[in-house]
Amino acid sequence: MTCFRRGLMAACLLFSTQAALAGQPVMPIKGDLIGHMATMKTRYEDTFADIGTRNSIGYLELVHANPGVDPWLPGDGTQITLPEQHILPDAPRKGIVINLAEFRLYYYTGNGVQTFPVGVGTEQNPSPLTKAKVTMRLESPAWYPPTSVRQEYQEKGETLPRMIPPGPENPLGPYALKLSADGYLIHGTNKKFGIGMQVSHGCIRMYNDDISQLVFEVPKGTPVQFVRQPVKVGMSGNEVWLEIHRPKEELDKATKDQLWQDVMQKMDKLLDAHPGIEFQRHAVELAVDQADGVPRLVGEQVRQMAQIHDKEPDSKPSL
């Protein structure tokens, strides 16, 4: 979904706090790993877009977690992996954190964290790596397309109105959160397809059910941080978990080499914080080779600090 670059989308400002709608649960934070992997069997009419909408999972998340399955015709009774387990991003656990590399938003509350799939900006119109705050909640927003977007339509021989009112043709969906980053929103959509992909002109697009829940839970002034972390490493108890997202559909050698460098840096940082970790090289290699966004157990902390006090400070175990 596109965002506006200037002009405020007129809408009804939500002055009252309404009860949160049933939707994504608040998960307690115990370590760095949240959620659980799940499976389901498809119905004959299912597509990955349908499954994603029903389960609040992004399109590419499903594609990468289910290699070899046709996303448009998976077939009746096909077992599908639902990637509902995630390592929390390496960022302050406060307010909203959006990891552009995995197309996912995390909202931290006093009781834990909620997570939602999102659509983000394209390579030509990327979402910003910035810090912002929620400044306004909008209901039934009207869309004022910026000049750049209207020009894109003109180049395709189409005319885009200066204002699109609320309704089924409005690409902002039923609700939006306006951010202090000029021209950027977190909003719904009038399209079934695109959540969990690079689809917008920079704004953050959500399933309508998800934004309908989130908009009533996030107060004005909530901090919002954008990060890009294709590699995430975390601890769950004494276990080490690794989650890798490939930036494009194909994993070429240059991208794989870059992911390896990122993995090594994250592993070194984890070792500094948790001495005594032993990694399983084969598991790490598999995670990099697949780069499918599925968290994998790749090691464990087998010795505590007291047991390794005499260890040489530069003798980190290698992969």
Quick one: pLDDT band at residue 313, thresholds 50, 70, 90?
Answer: low
pLDDT greater at residue 19 or residue 117 = 117
What residues contact 124, with CB distance under 8 A and at least 6 apart? Answer: none
Domains and CATH numbers, the chain: 12-27+86-227 (2.40.440.10), 37-83 (3.10.350.10), 231-308 (no CATH)
In terms of average pLDDT, the best of 99-108, 117-126, 165-174 is 99-108
Active centre residues (catalytic): 187, 203
pTM for the full predicted model: 0.87
Per-position b or e across 289-302, b if 16+ CB within 10 A of its CB: ebbbbbbbebbbbe
Residues 180-237 pLDDT 10s? 998 899 999 988 789 999 988 889 999 999 999 999 999 999 999 999 999 999 999 9
In terms of average pLDDT, the best of 232-241, 242-251, 310-319 is 232-241
Residue 71, judged by CB atoms within 10 A of its CB (0-12, 13-18, 19+), counts as middle
pLDDT of residue 319: 56
- The alpha helices in the chain, defined as continuous H runs, are 48-55, 59-65, 147-155, 208-214, 253-273, 281-290
* Nearest of 241, 310, 307, 230 to residue 270 by alpha carbon: 241
